[in-house]
Structure 1
Amino acid sequence: MRLLYKFTLLLSILVVLNSLAQFIVFDKIFISDTDALLLDINEQAANNVSMQLAENFKKIALSLKVIAADEKIRENQDTLDKINTVFSEVDVITILNRQGDILLISGNQYSPMVSNLSQREYFKQAIQGRTYISDVFTSARGFKVVSIAVPIIKNETIDGVVVGLVKLHGNSLASMFDNTLFGRNGYISILDRRGDIVYHPNKERIGQKAVIFDRLDGRKGSRILKDSSGSDQFVGYSKVPDLGWSVTINTPTADIIKNRNIMIYEILSLSIAGIFVIVLVGIYTARRYTEPLDQLVQAFNTLKDGNYKKIDSRSYEKEFHEIVHVYNKTVEKLEEVHNDLEEAADIDSLTGAYNRRAFENHFCILQQEISNCTVVSVGLCLLDIDHFKGLNDTSGHLAGDYILKRITEIMKSIAGEQAVFRFGGDEFAVILRDIRMKDY
């Protein structure tokens, strides 16, 4: 396969690998970060709503305490009805004596079908002097309701209870929030201590057990959970202070998956288009340039055989004239350098020491000198550098090259320029003539 065909194939493979890398990065990093960001946003929003809900219930309790403290309101039906008209957060206001008997009631379209409420948990808690907010329960008329009860204190004794009743399927609880939805498709849900739904934009869900309740650990948090329909949701949750209820912010993961798929399709489309363009450009380039490039490659191959022959640029397109000119200049330079290389063949290019070939030639001469008794004594040292491979692996080859050069300089300064030979790697030999033991 010709060079440009290989290059075209290489570029196509790189585009495919780049696309795969983008898919992996997008899935593992972008989606993960987006999930974490949305979960954090939902958790913070749930915490804000829980604080808002706590404040709203405190306002309701304070309003009921005002009624409990004013005997004129507690004993006048018209006044109580007027207050109930402007008290939009509560559907029914009931005044009870210390025995739990109903003395007055406003909003009696939702009133209980009994006259005594002493067995209700909210009465039992309030008659002990506590302000109490109940969990969801079903009234005698079949409504899902929540009650807020405050004690009536008269002459420093508990004289009865004021109860505010909130009908969950009505608009009273919904009026506590600015909106019923969170974001484009998310929503707010409120659960009581048992996990029963107190508030939900889908009123059919109110009073039912929340499927995610058992997964809400701690005072606040966030996670991906399945809702009652089996769909994955980003759920942020927070406990309402001093109440034990939970506020959840739920947004579907489907929107994120949809956006993710759109981006994946865009990346895939761009990758396919990129491969198509690369193939077209590669085919065109190969047809125009492959043949002259092959001829140039063949010409360069002849150089290794010592055939320093120039080529005629007139046989090539204009685009190749500069390459041909450089080739011909290279041939001229090679002819000049060839003889210099013959002379420099005995020198190690890195360290400047003599190489192994020079050592063998020098050793032959040395043997002849010993035979002729022209050399009295000879010293031969074979050296290598301890832990050199580890140095290369940890500090890199540039550091290793520096060490080789520096050691060569030291040996030359001690033994002389012509006495040091590099065998290869970190191995050296030093030949010393006419030495005496006491010198070393």
Structure 2
Amino acid sequence: MKRLSHLPLHDRLLLVALLPVAVLASLVTTVVVYRGTRMLDEALQTHGDAIISFLAPAAEYGVIAGNREALDALLQAATEQRDVSAAALYDDAGNLLASKGRIRVLAPAELRTLRRGIVRGGTPEFVVMVAPIQAVNVTIDDVSADAVKEQPQDPIGWVHIELDARPSAHEKNTIIGAALAMLGFGLSLSGLLALRLARSVSKPVKALVEGVKRMKAGDLDVEITEGANNPELAALEKGFNAMARAISENHRTMQSRIDDATAQLAYQATHDPLTGLPNRRVFEQRIEECVAASRRRASDHGALCFIDLDRFKIVNDTCGHAAGDELLMRIAELIQSRIREQDTLCRVGGDEFALILHDCSREDALRLAEGLCESVADYRFEWHGNVFSIGASIGITYVDGRQSDPAEILIAADTACYQAKREGRNCVVESGVPTRGRRSSDRGLAPDDEIMDD
């Protein structure tokens, strides 16, 4: 049974369907062949019994009288019967009296052992039958003259015939051949029906198994062909496809949500949640890229600007954090609208911004920084009836390929920004360049100036 359990479903179905049919058909064929051959043997023996039963009493007179012609006539008539190939008559001493055909003469000792009845024997090709010839005395009973009794005596001779069994054997072979042909036809027909039945069951089941394997391997868009003739298997196929579609749809929905959440997390990890600008993490990566590019190509210059808003704390303390957040978003939009597409603006602190100018000369970088300083100074922030004028202190340092450590550039820009604060705010200070007054056309604010206007 363990070996059968390892067979594929198709083979097991074939085995279950064919094995009982094959066993039953074999038994029926065996019975048919046995009964057919048995009937042929019995028919041959019955035919021989009838002939020898006729010859034994008919030969009584010829044996007693020694009439050789009568005995020859009897044997001639016997050998003319169907299947009788030879015949012989013996006297009471076992001597051969007459014979017809090629017959094996029996020895007297063999004959003396037979007293009554018919003895059968022979080979597959011939059937030998021997019967005694008995003289019957007829007497009249003293009690009733009408009653006649036959009193058997010792044999006065023997009748010996041989029947040709080859025609019967041929008929047996014909029966066996026909039975085997019918068996083969029946098994073939049963095999075809069993094969069709096995395929009608195993094919849908195999498709379902393959579908499950594909789903297990990660292919959630699997769909099997619906074609089962069996109602239960057809329902199973439809149910599997419906389940697969539901799983695939749920997986796509979940994957879409995961992708959205992943993208959102990635965005949040690299962008400032308030202004939407790249955060300090992105800024550090971009400044490293800028330094590396300037070292690879001497002509690829750039600049870094640190921008610190002036008087931002007054707005935040006067109108609250909501006003401060709104001011930061508007200033971010203002600066973003004034720079080039290839430049990178990041928010690196509360009211601090960092601007990386890629592939930009010193003159262009300084001119752009001064323009930003003027734009911020000209901007008026309104909040619930209050109008605020602010400024921006900008420290700028240049990336020209001589620097190898991004940290040095950051320190230089931060120091220049701090110097701009000390110079009176709302101005641009270049790192490493002596200050010569403000570069904001007298728009700077003294440290104690008020910037809130009604």
TM-score band, normalised by the shorter chain? 0.3 to 0.5
Q: TM-score if structure 1 supplies the norm length? A: 0.36
Q: TM-score if structure 2 supplies the norm length? A: 0.35
